[in-house]
Each structure stands twice: as structure tokens, then as C-alpha cells.
């Protein structure tokens, strides 16, 4: 029997070594080196392709399949592209199987369930009131059998639930290993491109939030969608991380109910409705741009004397390093002494805000809480803070302000450098952090 050759490969950076290592010498990550069995050389499958001159290539019409779920279509840039391979990644229990089963109603589909039995899928389908004559459920884990069924049934859409649970006979390692995931993804990519079938693959997420499996999985697929949200709350967010056929970072917002996932048409209600009407110090409303959609989000801060030798800085939903920078600017430029104060910053609704446009909102939430005064609840705050306390302009200002007007806000504090003509809202332009602090306070108190 031929000797099985194996090599050890780093999942993070692709470094190869002859034996096991606890730490990768290239990227210095621990526990990332996994064994890969080397399979025999494969025959070339694409030898019918020849180089063509760019201007001689004729474009086929890109056919899109509407999924019947508006928010899903929007993040994909207008429906599923025929012959594309999409990866949907998310934590266990977030609703990946649910949304893809709902999506399968839109065309002739094959749902390959490698984790659950046909009975379990049937139970879920009843709960979701799925009514389709064109949906095949196939509990299977072997990639070669799946390929054979795809060739026989000729579906328009194939769902693989999940890539970590299927295996190919050509690779000897177990399902979920780096080489299995890579091989199965390769086969699925080939099916999608050669047979013009739309393939959706579910991928698990590791405990630190990365997509389980090799990074190459994300490189290979056409679209990567992440499914986020708090498992213990009912709303979920779909976000496109990579999209070869449309814009990235678009978000779609859903709510998980007893009958599956439903679209949320007015997400601002979801993020702002927890806000109490009584005005509390340490709260500021910003308009964050998620993809092309502006979202109103509340930033809360809590500042209090610390019982610890080193004060605590806790940030939920915003980058901790960014909060540290804003606190440093508040100390240096405004003279707000926070060296003996614990500072907690939280974005309500569990959403992550990564935009620098949130800086001014964070600064005002912290400053008003420290001085026990309130920001006017009818005011939205936009602006990026520079290290000398200057306020930089933000992108898409009109769109953000229009959203604030729709949600009933009356006043906006915006950077001096932004020009606004359209939205019917009282605008206060500020050059420096100090101007913003004086402008936003309810009765003009000084911080």
C-alpha cells in the first residue's frame, strides 16, 4: 500500500512544516498548525479553457434569483447570482439553518443536511410554514453522493448545512479538518461554476468569532455573509463581508419569532425603543452608516469613582482603543479628569459601531455623565474627533440627517466642515469638541 504523505500547515498564514509545532514560527499564533494529508496529483479539469483577449470576451447576462426575502436580496446586491458560491457564517443557534430553509422556497432547491435528520428538518419546516413542491431534503455527509444527487436532480439552489460536517472520499482526514473543508469547497465551487447552480454553504464560527476552517475558504467563495446578533435577544443581523457581485458591509435586520425569521422594516424602533423617555445623563444618539443604510443608535456611558487602583475602561459595541483615545482627548483638551473614574461605554441593542463618526457621541455621553447633565433627547450627534480636539467631517451627512428627521429628531450637532442643504432639521455646526459640549447641553450648562 502506498505510504500516506502528510504535511503540517498553519491555518492562519499557510506556513508549512514537516512536523507538529505548538506555535507557528511565521505568524506566531498558537495551536494553528494542523495536519494535512497530501492526496495524489489530480488531473487538470479546466484544460478546455484558453487565454482570451479582454475585448473579445462576451459577457453573459448575470441572472439573479430573487430570494423572496427582501433584506437578504438587498445585502446580496439584488438577489442570488446564478452559479455563485456563498458562505453564511454564524454562531450556533443564531438561525443559519432557519433562514436558508426559508430561502429554499424561492426556487427548485436541494437542502443537504449533514447535521440534522429529515424528520428534524420537516419539524422546522412545519414551524416555519414552508410550503414548497420543489424543495428536496437530503440528509447526507459524503460529498461524492451529494454531487451525484445534484447531477440527477438539477436544482437551481443547493444548500450545504454545514461545510464542517461533510467529507470527501478523496481525502483521508476526518470531516471538519482543514484539508476536508478545502477539498469539499473546491468540489462545490466546481459544481457552481460548471453547472451554473447557486450554492449556499453554512459555516461555523470559532469561539473567538472567526470562521472555522482555513482562511482560504473565505478567499474561494464569491460572497461571505455573517449572521450576527445576540442569541438571547430576538433580533439578528446579516452582514455581507465580501461580495464579488455587489457592495460589502450592507446589513439586513431580522427578528427571530415563533414562526422563524421576519424582516425588520424599521430597525430604528428596535434600537431606540428601549430608551426611556426620562432623560438620563450619559446618553447620546448617533446615526451610524451600516453599508448604505443609516441606523440610529444610542450610546450610553457610565462614569463613577473607581474602587480599584487602576480605573476600569469597558467598551461594548465600540472599539476599546477608540474609547481610550477619546478619553485622552477629553482629559487633555477639555480638562475632564477621569484618572480616578471607571468608564463604561455601551451601544444599546447589541449592535457593533465601527465608524469614527461615533466619536463625538461617545465623548458627549462620557462628558455629560461625568458632569451629571443630560444631552437633549431630540438631538443627534455626528462627528469624528481628532487628537487636538477638532471635529472632522463625516461621510453621507444628508442621508444620516434624513434618517434622523424621519425618526422625529429636531436638532443635529454636526462637524463644521460638512455642508447640509436638504434635511429639515436644526443644524449646529461645531469646530471643536468644546463647542459641541456647550451646544448639546439642555439648558446651556457648562461641563
Minimum distance, C-beta of residue 338 to Mg ion, in the bound complex (Å): 45
* CA-wise closest residue to 98 among 202, 212, 182, 244: 202
Check residue 94 for interaction with ligand TYD (CB under 6 A). Answer: yes
Beta bridge partners of 110: 136, 158
Stretch that binds ligand TYD, among 122-130, 188-196, 215-223, 436-444 (CB under 6 A): 122-130
> Smallest distance from the beta carbon of 113 to Mg ion, in angstroms?
9
97 binds Mg ion (CB under 5 A): yes
Rounded to 5 degrees, φ, ψ at 149 are -70, -35
Q: How far is the CB of 233 from Mg ion (least distance, A)?
A: 19
164 binding Mg ion? (CB under 5 A): no
**Considering the complex, what minimum distance in angstroms separates the CB of residue 224 from Mg ion?**
18
Are the CB atoms for 26 and 13 separated by under 8 Å? yes
Picked from Mg ion, ligand TYD, none, the partner binding residue 361 (CB below 5 to 8 A depending on kind) is: none
Residues of span 250-289 touching ligand TYD by CB under 6 A: 256, 258-260
| CA-angle at 331, arms to 327 and 335, nearest 5° | 145
Q: Which is nearer to ligand TYD, 194 or 259 (CB)?
A: 259
Rounded to 5 degrees, what are φ and ψ at 289?
A: -95, 110
Category of 196 on φ-ψ map: left (φ > 0), alpha (ψ -120 to 50) or beta: left
> Please, which residue, 98 or 268, has the CB nearer to Mg ion?
98
Picked from ligand TYD, Mg ion, none, the partner binding residue 408 (CB below 5 to 8 A depending on kind) is none
- Partner interacting with residue 258 (select from Mg ion, ligand TYD, none; CB below 5-8 Å by kind): ligand TYD
Under 8 Å between Cβ of 236 and 71: no
Residue 98 binds Mg ion, judged by CB under 5 A? no
Vertex 205: Cα angle to 199 and 207 (nearest 5):
175
For ligand TYD, the closer of residues 95 and 213 by Cβ is 95
- Which does residue 83 touch among Mg ion, ligand TYD, none (CB within 5 to 8 A, set by kind)? none
Cβ closest to Mg ion, residue 99 vs residue 347: 99
Q: Which region, judged by CB under 6 A, interacts with ligand TYD, from 51-59, 121-129, 171-179, 376-384?
A: 121-129
Strands 109-113 and 157-161 come out as parallel
Q: Choosing among Mg ion, ligand TYD, none, which partner's interface includes residue 252 (Cβ < 5 to 8 Å by kind)?
A: none
Q: How wide is the angle at C-alpha 211 spanned by C-alphas 210 and 215, nearest 5°? A: 100
Question: Which region among 92-100, 215-223, 280-288, 295-303 touches ligand TYD (by CB under 6 A)?
Answer: 92-100
Q: How many residues bind ligand TYD (CB under 6 A)?
A: 15
Taking CB within 5 to 8 Å according to partner kind, which of ligand TYD, Mg ion, none is near residue 64? none
Residue 93 binds ligand TYD, judged by CB under 6 A: yes
Cα–Cα distance for residue pair 310/329, rounded to 1 Å: 19
Nine-digit cell string for 437:
459640549
Report the residue from 82, 98, 113, 300 that binds ligand TYD according to the rule CB under 6 A.
Answer: 98
What distance in Å separates the CA atoms of residue 401 and residue 42, rounded to the nearest whole number?
57
Stretch that binds Mg ion, among 40-48, 92-100, 287-295, 352-360 (CB under 5 A): 92-100
User: Residue 296 CB: number of other CB atoms within 10 A?
Assistant: 22
Binding mask 127-146 for ligand TYD (x = CB under 6 A): xx------------------
**Closest distance between ligand TYD and the C-beta of residue 203, in Å?**
10
Q: How far is the CB of 255 from Mg ion (least distance, A)?
A: 18
Of 79, 83, 95, 317, which lies in the binding site for ligand TYD, with binding defined by CB under 6 A? 95
246 near 78, Cβ under 8 Å? Answer: yes
Alpha carbons 222 and 201: distance in angstroms, whole number = 11
Q: Under 8 Å CB-to-CB from 11, ≥6 apart: which residues?
A: 32, 33, 34, 178, 213, 214, 215
Residue nearest to Mg ion (CB): 97
Footprint on this chain of Mg ion (rule: CB under 5 A): 97
Residues forming the site for ligand TYD (CB under 6 A): 90, 92-98, 124, 127-128, 256, 258-260
Amino acid at each position: 500500500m502506498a505510504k500516506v504523505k502528510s504535511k503540517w500547515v498553519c491555518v492562519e498564514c499557510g506556513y508549512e512544516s514537516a512536523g507538529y509545532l505548538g506555535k507557528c514560527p511565521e505568524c506566531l499564533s498558537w495551536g494553528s498548525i494542523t495536519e494535512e494529508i497530501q492526496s495524489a496529483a489530480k488531473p487538470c479539469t479546466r484544460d478546455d479553457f484558453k487565454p482570451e483577449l479582454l475585448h473579445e470576451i462576451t459577457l453573459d447576462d448575470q441572472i439573479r434569483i430573487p430570494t423572496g426575502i427582501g433584506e437578504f436580496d438587498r445585502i446580496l446586491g439584488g438577489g442570488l447570482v446564478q452559479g455563485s458560491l456563498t458562505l453564511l457564517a454564524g454562531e450556533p443557534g443564531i438561525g443559519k439553518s432557519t433562514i436558508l430553509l426559508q430561502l429554499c422556497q424561492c426556487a427548485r432547491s436541494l437542502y443537504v443536511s449533514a447535521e440534522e435528520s429529515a424528520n428534524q428538518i420537516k419539524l422546522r419546516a412545519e414551524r416555519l410554514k414552508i410550503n414548497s413542491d420543489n424543495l428536496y431534503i437530503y440528509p447526507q455527509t459524503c460529498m461524492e453522493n451529494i454531487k451525484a444527487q445534484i447531477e440527477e436532480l438539477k436544482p437551481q439552489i443547493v444548500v450545504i448545512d454545514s461545510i464542517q460536517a461533510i467529507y470527501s472520499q478523496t481525502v483521508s482526514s476526518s470531516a471538519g479538518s482543514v484539508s476536508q473543508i478545502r477539498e469539499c469547497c473546491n468540489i462545490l465551487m466546481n459544481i457552481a461554476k460548471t453547472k451554473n447552480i447557486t450554492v449556499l454553504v453554512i459555516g461555523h464560527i470559532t469561539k473567538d468569532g472567526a470562521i472555522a476552517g482555513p482562511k482560504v475558504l473565505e478567499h474561494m467563495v464569491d460572497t461571505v455573509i455573517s449572521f450576527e446578533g445576540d442569541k438571547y435577544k430576538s433580533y439578528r443581523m446579516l452582514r455581507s463581508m465580501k461580495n464579488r457581485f455587489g457592495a460589502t458591509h450592507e446589513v439586513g435586520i431580522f427578528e427571530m419569532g415563533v414562526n422563524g425569521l421576519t424582516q425588520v422594516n424599521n430597525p430604528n424602533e428596535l434600537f431606540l425603543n428601549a430608551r426611556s423617555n426620562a432623560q438620563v445623563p450619559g446618553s447620546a444618539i448617533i446615526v451610524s452608516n451600516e453599508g448604505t443604510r443609516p441606523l440610529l443608535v444610542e450610546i450610553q456611558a457610565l462614569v463613577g469613582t473607581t474602587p480599584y487602583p487602576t480605573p476600569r475602561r469597558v467598551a461594548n459595541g465600540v472599539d476599546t482603543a477608540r474609547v481610550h483615545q477619546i478619553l485622552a482627548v477629553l482629559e487633555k483638551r477639555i480638562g475632564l479628569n477621569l484618572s480616578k473614574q471607571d468608564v463604561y461605554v455601551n451601544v444599546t441593542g447589541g449592535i457593533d459601531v465601527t465608524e469614527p463618526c461615533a466619536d463625538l457621541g461617545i465623548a458627549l455621553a462620557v462628558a455629560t455623565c461625568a458632569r451629571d447633565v443630560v444631552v437633549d433627547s431630540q438631538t443627534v450627534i455626528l462627528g469624528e474627533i481628532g487628537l487636538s480636539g477638532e471635529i472632522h467631517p463625516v461621510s453621507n451627512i444628508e442621508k444620516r440627517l434624513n434618517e434622523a428627521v424621519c425618526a422625529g429628531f429636531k436638532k443635529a450637532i454636526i462637524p463644521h466642515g460638512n455642508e447640509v442643504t436638504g434635511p429639515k432639521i436644526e443644524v449646529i455646526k461645531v469646530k471643536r469638541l468644546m463647542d459641541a459640549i456647550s451646544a448639546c447641553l439642555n439648558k446651556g450648562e457648562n461641563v
